[in-house]
Structure 1
Amino acid sequence: MEQLLELYTNWKGSRPSNVEKLAGAGSNREYYRLYDEEGNAVIGVIGTSRDENHAFIYLAKHFEKRRLPVPHLLAVSSDELCYLQTDLGNTSLFDAIRGGREAGGRYNLAEQKLLRNAIRELPNIQLRGARGLDFSNCYPQPEFNQESVLFDLNYFKYCFLKATELDFHELKLEANFRMFAKDLTSEKMDSFLYRDFQARNIMLDKEGSPYFIDFQGGRKGPFYYDLASFLWQASAKYSFKLRRELVFEYYQSLKNYTEVPSKRHFVNRLSLFVLFRTLQVLGAYGFRGYFERKKHFIDSIPPAIQNLRDLLALGDDVFPYPYMMDMLKRLTLLPQFAHIEKPAANRTDGLKTAEKDVYKANPLDGPATFSKYDGKGPLVVRVFSFSFKKGIPEDTSGNGGGYVFDCRSTHNPGRYEPYKKITGLDEPVIRFLEDDGEILDFLKPVYKLADHHVERYMQRGFTDLMFSFGCTGGQHRSVYSAQHLAEHLNEKYGIEVHITHREQGIEQTLKAK
């Protein structure tokens, strides 16, 4: 500690006014926040391994030259066992997306945006960061190779597999391990493999932009590894949909830095690394959980096993290692992994719940309650045209009204003499509006919204839905829009539609088909 204080004093010209110890990371290094008299802070790091510290110091300097978002080194001791770096604050990506994690993987849009920002930046450090990098400075080895893959696979075998007491043929499994290791290292890769790319190692500035830390374990290797490590982290609970979107974000970003393989090849290669990463973390969970008896790691095993089940469902075409795959399938069927607990459903406080619900419920929400409008059907849609000058149409159903669309942003035929005496039902006005095209663009999202609403109301057995279109006089644009939406819904869904062109005194019923 005294060496760190001396380093700070030599750099700053005075001793720190306050020193705050920070929570430790995965390694044995110690982190401190050191303050000056004005409250400005820097981060001080004390390491026990010179080689590990040297790797971080070299990489940090190299990445900064490449203008990558990493902390700036302020001072380094002569033996490289301690150093000072800029303070990136207290908010990690892991902290920022905690709400989505605790909600069982239901990440809101703001959290999803942070994830996209981070995943788009990953190829930057992997590809641009690798340019001119001397990998001989990496710790503990310069390159991802078959030897390191086999080490991790055997770590899984001895620390997890054997602890489950599953019977397996060790020589046959070893032969498949060697095939697997050969495939994982079959493509030459000159990118920087971060190795520990996870949400805890991404700090966010005030604007939410990502900064990378703890990359000292990186080496030369395939870029698939980091993507698999990040997106298939069991505790993150990313949904299939979100994970797929983030893979696509990464693939699109990767195009900015290198020539990318085909999507099919990319996905197949990624699947190999997802399987490898899953076995790797199970080995770690086995050692930390089964041998060191740490509850957090024991609790992490079931979601990792579920990840493994999902991977095995991809089939033997993706994973051509018959004995290993058979063994893994038997592993997932063991009694201790047969049931993965889901969050308890919320209480319904005695309310009657729907026996048939069109919505797929999240277990956190519990069963849905009945609406008094459920199951009565059939649906009847009412569509109105009106003039805003005379007010919005009254809803007589008792439901409180429905959609109201304002057509006044579109080109108005009523400004031209030939159309002043006729309406949106007449061929000249129809031709004017459709030739101009603005009303057609206006109606595209209206149709999409209406279709979704009608489909849900039909599924739930609701009886009434109302759409109203207003314009200046209730004569041209609103009439055209109301008539065309009514005919669209009647034709597409075969439902009864009542049309009222209020200002024209016209009523029409399109019968159910």
Structure 2
Amino acid sequence: MKENDLNQLKKIFQKWAGEVVEVVSPLPPSGSDRIYYRMTGSDRYALGVVNRNVKENRAFIGFSRHFKTLGLKVPEIYYVDESEKYYLIEDFGNTTLYDWLSNSRSGKEMPSDIVSFYKSVIDNLVKFQLEGKEGLDFSLCYPRHSFDKQSMLWDLHYFKYYFLKLANIQFDEQLLEDDYHRFADYLQQAENDYFLYRDFQSRNVMVTPDGPAFIDYQGGRRGALQYDLASLLFDAKADIPAEIREELLDYYISVLKKRIDVNETAFRNYFYGYVLIRIMQAMGAYGFRGFYEKKEHFLKSIPYAIDNLKFLLSKVDLPVSLPALTDALQQITTSKKLLEISEKANLTVMVTSFSFRRGIPVDTSGNGGGFVFDCRCIHNPGRYDEYKNKTGRHPDVIAFFEREKEMENFLSDVFSLANQSIQKYLKRNFKHLMFNFGCTGGQHRSVYAAEKLSAYLRKHFPVNVILKHQEILTWPDDSVER
């Protein structure tokens, strides 16, 4: 089936680009059933998408075309196969807001330039919510036209069956169901005639030289303003500090007030209710992918979600009585089984790119050892004018490497060594491991290789990955020569 899918994508790429595909590279799988391939010809490149859910495809394609007319930075739809199961879209590169945040912060601190970027994201969110609904064909929405009571109950039951039960949290089935209905009825009282993006979080915001770009809104529908803001500010692994969350909440309200009348007290009250249902929905997803499908890397988000629950339970008093639900949530925060999950992810892997002109990075963990890979054996795009002012994160440079077998073969050997080392380090409960990639300028080959290894490790192992590019000082902008 995979071969047939690839052949079909190659056919539509040739129809669109007027040239054959030279390289096809699968992107790491996410939490959905969609499959993405980066496709590169001699002059053009695109992301090829395979998804058998035609209704979901129609929503994404229709929404994309609508948002494009509003000037929102969403992928351009290049070509759609007549079956509507295959299509080509614009490629925004590899760097998500979550990647930038993870690779730039020290501890829990958030750099000021990232806070400013979040505010730009919020500016766009308000535009999605207010302008995006105007003229939008809501009949495309899948699986529901709005985030109504039925949708809320689906999320709450998802949390019950795939998180509470699989984590062995005790609860009374009927009392919890009663609370679910009271909770959903309360949330439905908020104004809800806006576009709700549904999954507005840091992995669905791309960092580009032109600012933020947005993906994965195919689950969009009518709903309340608070839900998407809750998704962004209480994004589990983004782990935004409480004081920054409050600053961004204030900023959102200030932007919103310039556009519509806002009862700030009511808005804030409903906001924390939507924070709670969003956390529960996300924990249901972590449980399904982690406990049920045995994909351990999804479990790494659970400790962050528990921290968010602790904050809500200690700081927020919702104006609706939910005793059974509150008891279940309190059990989550003290569960020994869930505490063990947070203790498993205690191996930190440092991945760096560097220039040999400046020297090999020092291992500050005190362990010594690790790996240094010399990328100078690989064809260098920096020799060509069109790539000189770009880095290994830029889509043009990515396409260059994915046309070259040298990088693919090189990384295959790197992944093999990484597999052997990390399996042993996890077994022996070691705490630190380092991988360094060097090239002449530390801008193209080493950056690309470090990005690929980091993505590979995050996908396959329950480890904490820290990625640092020593020669790239400003993450969002690939236009400045280093």
Q: CA deviation at 1:307?
A: 1.2
- Asked if 1 retains the 8 angstrom alpha-carbon contact of 2:283 and 2:305, the reply is yes
Q: Does 1:129 align with 2:132?
A: yes
- Asked if 2 retains the 8 angstrom alpha-carbon contact of 1:225 and 1:273, the reply is yes
Q: Does 1:203 align with 2:217?
A: no
Aligned position for 1:175 = 178
Q: CA deviation at 1:214?
A: 1.3
Aligned position for 1:381 = none
CA distance in structure 1 between the aligned counterparts of 2:344 and 2:107, rounded to whole angstroms: 9
- Map 1:203-282 to 2 at 5 A: 203-207=206-210, 209-262=211-264, 264-282=265-283
- Tell me the amino acid that sits aligned with residue 141 of structure 1: R
Q: Does 1:52 align with 2:59?
A: no
CA distance in structure 1 between the aligned counterparts of 2:52 and 2:218, rounded to whole angstroms: 13
Question: Kindly tell me: are residues 2 and 254 of structure 1, through their superposed partners in 2, closer, same or farther at Cα, counting changes over 3 Å?
Answer: same
Q: Could you tell me the TM-score, scaled by structure 2's length?
A: 0.66
Aligned position for 1:29 = 34
CA distance in structure 2 between the aligned counterparts of 1:160 and 1:23, rounded to whole angstroms: 25
- Tell me the amino acid that sits aligned with residue 246 of structure 1: L
- Asked if 1 retains the 8 angstrom alpha-carbon contact of 2:73 and 2:214, the reply is yes
Q: CA deviation at 1:170?
A: 1.7
Aligned position for 1:138 = 141
Q: CA deviation at 1:281?
A: 1.8
CA distance in structure 2 between the aligned counterparts of 1:332 and 1:120, rounded to whole angstroms: 34
- Tell me the amino acid that sits aligned with residue 55 of structure 1: A
- Map 1:381-460 to 2 at 5 A: none
Aligned position for 2:335 = 334
Q: Does 1:153 align with 2:156?
A: yes
Q: Could you tell me the TM-score, scaled by structure 1's length?
A: 0.62
- Asked if 2 retains the 8 angstrom alpha-carbon contact of 1:124 and 1:257, the reply is no
Question: Kindly tell me: are residues 267 and 34 of structure 1, through their superposed partners in 2, closer, same or farther at Cα, counting changes over 3 Å?
Answer: same
User: Tell me, what secondary structure is at the counterpart of 2:315?
Assistant: coil
Aligned position for 1:113 = 116
CA distance in structure 2 between the aligned counterparts of 1:292 and 1:42, rounded to whole angstroms: 30
Question: Kindly tell me: are residues 330 and 46 of structure 1, through their superposed partners in 2, closer, same or farther at Cα, counting changes over 3 Å?
Answer: closer
Q: CA deviation at 1:271?
A: 0.4
Alpha-carbon RMSD: 2.5
CA distance in structure 1 between the aligned counterparts of 2:318 and 2:34, rounded to whole angstroms: 44
Which consecutive residues of structure 1, in runs of 5 or more, have no partner in the other structure? 345-363, 366-513
CA distance in structure 2 between the aligned counterparts of 1:63 and 1:169, rounded to whole angstroms: 44
Higher alpha-carbon Rg: 1
Question: Kindly tell me: are residues 30 and 292 of structure 1, through their superposed partners in 2, closer, same or farther at Cα, counting changes over 3 Å?
Answer: closer
Q: Does 1:94 align with 2:98?
A: yes
Aligned position for 1:299 = 300
Q: CA deviation at 1:338?
A: 6.6
User: Tell me, what secondary structure is at the counterpart of 2:243?
Assistant: helix
Q: CA deviation at 1:123?
A: 1.0
Q: CA deviation at 1:332?
A: 2.4
- Asked if 1 retains the 8 angstrom alpha-carbon contact of 2:195 and 2:221, the reply is yes
CA distance in structure 1 between the aligned counterparts of 2:258 and 2:235, rounded to whole angstroms: 26
- Tell me the amino acid that sits aligned with residue 90 of structure 1: N
Q: CA deviation at 1:315?
A: 4.8
User: Tell me, what secondary structure is at the counterpart of 2:20?
Assistant: coil
- Asked if 1 retains the 8 angstrom alpha-carbon contact of 2:198 and 2:228, the reply is yes
Residue deviations 1:22-73 (CA, integer Å, cap 9, x gap):
22333222222233323x3222222221111111111111111222211111
CA distance in structure 1 between the aligned counterparts of 2:111 and 2:344, rounded to whole angstroms: 20
Question: Kindly tell me: are residues 168 and 289 of structure 1, through their superposed partners in 2, closer, same or farther at Cα, counting changes over 3 Å?
Answer: same
Question: Kindly tell me: are residues 172 and 70 of structure 1, through their superposed partners in 2, closer, same or farther at Cα, counting changes over 3 Å?
Answer: same
- Asked if 2 retains the 8 angstrom alpha-carbon contact of 1:76 and 1:84, the reply is yes
Q: CA deviation at 1:238?
A: 0.9
Which consecutive residues of structure 2, in runs of 5 or more, have no partner in the other structure? 1-5, 347-363, 366-482
User: Tell me, what secondary structure is at the counterpart of 2:219?
Assistant: coil
- Asked if 2 retains the 8 angstrom alpha-carbon contact of 1:120 and 1:249, the reply is no
Q: CA deviation at 1:206?
A: 1.2
CA distance in structure 1 between the aligned counterparts of 2:56 and 2:233, rounded to whole angstroms: 26
Question: Kindly tell me: are residues 302 and 92 of structure 1, through their superposed partners in 2, closer, same or farther at Cα, counting changes over 3 Å?
Answer: closer
CA distance in structure 2 between the aligned counterparts of 1:291 and 1:329, rounded to whole angstroms: 23
Count of residues in correspondence between the two structures: 342
- Tell me the amino acid that sits aligned with residue 66 of structure 2: H
